[in-house]
A = this chain, B = another copy of it.
Amino acid sequence: MARWFARRRRPGTQTPRLRSREDAVQATRVDLHELAPSTADYLGQVAQLQLGFFMTLSFAVEHAPNDADRETVAEAAATALRKHQALLAWLRRTSDDPGAVLEPYARTRDEFQAILRTGTWDELLLGVLVARGFLDEFFAQLARGLDGADARDLAAIVAPGPEEDPLVGILHRVIAAHPERASTLAMWGRRLLGDTMLVARSALVTESKALPDDARVEPVYTELIANHTRRMDALGLTA
């Protein structure tokens, strides 16, 4: 299955880049530090987001077409719940009123999860793969911009695990069995990426607490979008 993640060689990948990868990572970190919310707000929104993924994946467990897929999706649901519970435990340790911190993010959570569920079962899985892939990486990077010595521990909770996403195997099988689904799924993936980026953007703050300029945020996204493209490529879908 490793080949699914192998990056396809494309025309132009040999072109010398203007900045080294190290420079780019450095620049991203600086940007994120300036835009990072308070640790409490960070915990509140990521905890809610993971709860949302848990609920959507549980819904998918329920509607799985067979028990093998059910098992696989349950594993993905368990991961989201584990992240949620770790973040919530952290919030309870550090906040006087965890409920008040969480409450403002319930609506975003529900609205976003409602979008993820508007399609068919395979579209739901692709949507979670796209959204969670992007947001787990995004919030792991954002954690490194938080104040405090715990930033690294928080990033470790949120970051995608070293294991392959269990949903990839199911989607690969669906697409292999129904190649005619590829264009619909590709379109759905693009739409979901847009919604996902709005969720990410809403987590960033500027000094004025207004939404940050897209131009300022753009470099933050560059690597995350490249990883998104890689995930879609791995499924044979055009990003």
Contacts and interface: CB of A to CB of B under 8 A. Distances in A.
A61 interface: yes
Contacts of A54: 58, 61, 74
A214 interface: no
A51 interface: yes
Interface in A43-71: 51, 54-55, 58-59, 61-62, 67-68, 70-71
A192 interface: no
A169 interface: no
Interface stretch (A78-86, A140-148, A223-231): A78-86
Interface string A68-105: 10110011011001101100100000000001001100
A157 interface: no
Nearest to A61: B55
A51 B77 contact: no
Contact of A78 (B67, B68, B81, B103): B81
Contact of A61 (B58, B71, B88): B58
A76 to B, nearest CB: 11
Tell which of A59, A61, A81, A85 has the most Cβ of chain B within 10 Å: A81
A106 interface: yes
Contact of A102 (B55, B67, B84): B67
Give the interface SS of chain A, mostly helix, strand, loop or mixed.
helix
Interface residues of A, number: 24
A72 to B, nearest CB: 11
A21 to B, nearest CB: 37
Interface of A: 51, 54-55, 58-59, 61-62, 67-68, 70-71, 74-75, 77-78, 81-82, 84-85, 88, 99, 102-103, 106
28 contacts: A51-B70, A51-B74, A54-B58, A54-B61, A54-B74, A55-B58, A55-B61, A55-B62, A58-B58, A58-B59, A58-B61, A58-B62, A58-B77, A59-B62, A67-B102, A67-B106, A68-B99, A71-B88, A74-B81, A74-B84, A74-B85, A75-B85, A77-B81, A78-B78, A78-B81, A78-B82, A78-B85, A81-B81
The 10 closest A-B pairs by CB, nearest first: A58-B58, A55-B62, A78-B81, A67-B106, A55-B61, A67-B102, A74-B81, A68-B99, A78-B85, A58-B61
